[in-house]
């Protein structure tokens, strides 16, 4: 009996078909994405070309605006008084930085408003000198090293439990300009010598404050009290050292009985002597620290670098009209021409659409 054997066709795996379709969909998606990105770059390139054509079309107008601006700028620089800047670096004590900022900002507001009479009264200068003042500025000066020192001083005044909850990053996040140790005060005026005249009033505006005067007096009393306590302790330790010395001399005068030597007693005596020496060194370090505090806290505001006798002339293109006026005129011309082009485009669009 013969049987017709026919080769069976291999069946396609449905999973392979699904994977093929998936890869095809992914490929089509990437093609659409690249096509979309390419269209964006093409539009940007077209916009760039349109802008360059716009500049080319109105190039002469921009040149004329620039030339006119340069002429006006040179004229203004020639007929306008030169400005001079003077800077002073101070160190406020007793949390007086906030009041110092408020005072300087107040002077600046009067200068901006050109209220020469009020400014002259506030700074105790003549009205003519006050009229030459143009601007007051104050800003903190603190580099990373100073911030680390401030963090170290801040941590020392906290208890152990609170110290564990505060780290360097958190301290830096909450750091503001009032926390800085040094601050720079700058004065801009058309008179190079007027800034020096304002220095006494700027400092006295803080020093006359009753609250800060009280804080300064209490600080001096505390320093004097601590100094007197340390001096008393040093005197007592000196007396105790002399007593130990006399005892040792008396013991040395006694005749030796036998050959027994008490090493324990000698060791205790040496330990007491070393403890006294260490205590003396600690007290002397305390005296040095108190002297530094007395020097730093002797004034409500310490002057690190005062105003110079003569201010420095503010030079450079960024402070002159030769750059500002041409730039402003070219920008104004650009905006005006763009608005005119936009208006023309809207009129044509309205005509074509019959709106």
- Write down the pLDDT at residue 185: 94
Burial 141-156 (b: 16+ CB within 10 A, else e): ebeeeebeebbeeeee
The pair of structure tokens assigned to 82 is 């030169």
Start and end residues for every CATH 3.30.70.1130 domain found in the chain: 83-142+180-249+274-313
- 164-170 — which CB contacts under 8 Å span 24+ positions? none
Only one residue has tokens 């005249």, namely: 197
Across the chain, the runs of DSSP E, i.e. the strands, are 84-92, 133-141, 182-189, 301-305, 312-313
- Write down the pLDDT at residue 145: 66
276 to 38, 230, 271, 289: CA distances (angstroms): 84, 14, 9, 20
pTM of the model: 0.60
- Write down the pLDDT at residue 170: 67
The pair of structure tokens assigned to 206 is 């803080």
Give the contacts of 244 (CB within 8 A, at least 6 positions apart): 269, 272, 273, 276
CA distance 332 to 343: 17
- Write down the pLDDT at residue 261: 47
Query: Is 209 strand, coil or helix?
Result: coil
CATH class of domain segment(s) 83-142+180-249+274-313 = alpha beta
The pair of structure tokens assigned to 89 is 């670096």
Q: Hey, how many other C-beta atoms are within 10 angstroms of the C-beta on 341? A: 14
- For the chain of 355 residues, list the mean pLDDT of each consecutive stretch of 10: 48 57 78 86 88 88 89 78 88 90 94 92 93 92 67 68 66 69 91 92 88 88 88 82 74 60 53 76 82 84 91 72 85 90 83 74
- Write down the pLDDT at residue 201: 92
The pair of structure tokens assigned to 209 is 């404050």
């Amino acid at each position: 009996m013969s049987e017709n054997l026919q080769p069976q066709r291999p069946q396609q795996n449905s999973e392979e078909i699904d994977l093929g379709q998936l890869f095809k969909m992914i490929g089509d998606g990437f093609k659409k994405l690249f096509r979309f990105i390419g269209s964006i770059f093409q539009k940007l390139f077209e916009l760039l070309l349109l802008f360059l054509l716009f500049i080319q079309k109105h190039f002469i107008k921009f040149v004329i605006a620039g030339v006119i601006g340069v002429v006006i700028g040179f004229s203004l620089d020639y007929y306008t008084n030169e400005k001079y800047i003077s800077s002073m670096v101070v160190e406020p004590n007793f949390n007086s930085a906030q009041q110092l900022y408020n005072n300087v900002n107040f002077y600046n507001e009067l200068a901006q408003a050109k209220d020469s009479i009020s400014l002259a009264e506030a700074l105790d200068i003549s009205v003519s000198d006050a009229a030459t003042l143009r601007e007051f500025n104050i800003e903190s000066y603190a580099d990373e090293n100073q911030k680390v020192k401030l963090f170290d001083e801040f941590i020392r005044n906290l208890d152990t439990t609170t110290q564990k909850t505060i780290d360097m990053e958190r301290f830096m996040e909450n750091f503001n300009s009032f926390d800085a140790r040094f601050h720079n005060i700058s004065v801009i005026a058309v008179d190079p010598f007027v800034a020096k005249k304002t220095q006494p009033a700027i400092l006295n505006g803080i020093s006359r404050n009753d609250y800060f005067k009280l804080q300064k007096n209490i600080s001096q009393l505390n320093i004097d009290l601590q100094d007197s306590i340390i001096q008393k302790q040093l005197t007592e330790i000196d007396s105790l050292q002399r007593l130990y010395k006399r005892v040792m001399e008396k013991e040395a005068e006694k005749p030796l009985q036998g050959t027994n030597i008490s090493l324990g007693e000698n060791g205790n005596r040496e330990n007491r002597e070393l403890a006294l020496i260490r205590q003396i060194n600690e007290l002397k370090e305390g005296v040095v620290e108190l002297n530094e505090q007395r020097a730093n806290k002797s004034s409500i505001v310490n002057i690190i670098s005062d105003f110079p006798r003569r201010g420095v002339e503010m030079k450079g293109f960024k402070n002159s009209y030769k750059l500002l006026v041409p730039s402003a005129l070219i920008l104004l011309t650009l905006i005006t021409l763009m608005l005119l082009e936009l208006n023309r485009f809207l009129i044509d669009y309205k005509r074509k659409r019959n709106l």
